Structure 1
């Protein structure tokens, strides 16, 4: 019976590549199903053997702990440099951020317009 090891929905490409490399380096016989375009099927990494599934889950758990730590450190470094938050987004993508804010205001205005006309 197949064992589902990991869901691939919302997994960044670099993480999926690292997991493939991890499985291949440790000779885990896995197969992969891609997520569907419409978000109906989740896709993921699978194995057939029970023992292989347990070994792969242990490898994944160790990898996830290490990745969590490195990603957390990278985030804290970005935060210390001021590269996170709404102001950093405005500095990096000013037109896109202003367009999104304008769209929010227009939608809110159209949504509230009937209530403003009641008075």
Structure 2
């Protein structure tokens, strides 16, 4: 029976490539199904054997721990350099786009709450 190791929906290409390389370096016999274009099927990495699944899951857990640490360090570096920011930085770099998005959010919230306000 197949064992699902990891969902590939919303996984960046570089992470998927690193996982493929990890599995091939450790000779994990896996196969891959791609996610659908419209988000109906999730895609993922799979193995057939339960023992292989346990070994692959332990490799994935270690890889995810290392990736989390490296991504946190990269984000902290961007934040300290002022490259990562919130709404204010988006507004400074792309004011028209940010203002249009905020206006669209207000319109959607207004339309959603309109029936409750009229009660």
TM-score range, shorter chain: 0.7 to 0.9
> What's the offset of the Cα at 1:53?
1.0
> What's the offset of the Cα at 1:46?
0.1
Deviations 1:56-94 (A, max 9, x none): 111101100000000111111222223221122223333
Secondary structure of the residue that 2:46 maps to in structure 1? strand
- Between the two proteins, the alignment pairs up a number of residues equal to 117
What is the 5 A alignment of 1:1-119?
1-82=1-82, 83-110=84-111
Gaps of 5+ in 2: none
In the superposition, relative to structure 1, how do residues 111 and 62 fare at CA in structure 2: closer, same or farther (>3 Å)? closer
In the superposition, relative to structure 1, how do residues 114 and 88 fare at CA in structure 2: closer, same or farther (>3 Å)? same
Secondary structure of the residue that 1:75 maps to in structure 2? helix
Moved more, 106-115 or 85-94: 106-115
**Distance in structure 2 (CA, Å) of the matches to 1:113 and 1:6:** 42
In the superposition, relative to structure 1, how do residues 111 and 49 fare at CA in structure 2: closer, same or farther (>3 Å)? closer
